[in-house]
Amino acid sequence: MRLLEDKRQKRRIREYRVQQQDNAQIEQFLDVLWLERNLAENTLVSYRL
């Protein structure tokens, strides 16, 4: 039973790391859009949702 809990916890940690990386990439993408295309703030906010 303990082994199963350890596996679940490791998977959650991995998923959290991936989510953080995804968020960082999304932010970088939005920065590029803002810089290159000068998008409105509302557009950038909608992409973040």
* Residue-range domain boundaries for the chain: 25-49
* Mean pLDDT across 17-42: 80
Res 1: pLDDT? 63
What's the confidence (pLDDT) of residue 45?
Answer: 80
Above 80 in pLDDT, residue 2?
Answer: no
Helix (H, G, I), strand (E, B) or coil at 20: helix
Q: Mapping DSSP to helix (H, G, I), strand (E, B) and coil, where does residue 17 land? A: helix
Please list, in sequence order, all residues whose beta carbon lies within 8 angstroms of the beta carbon of residue 31, skipping any fewer than 6 positions away. none
pLDDT tens, position by position, 14-29: 777 777 788 888 888 8
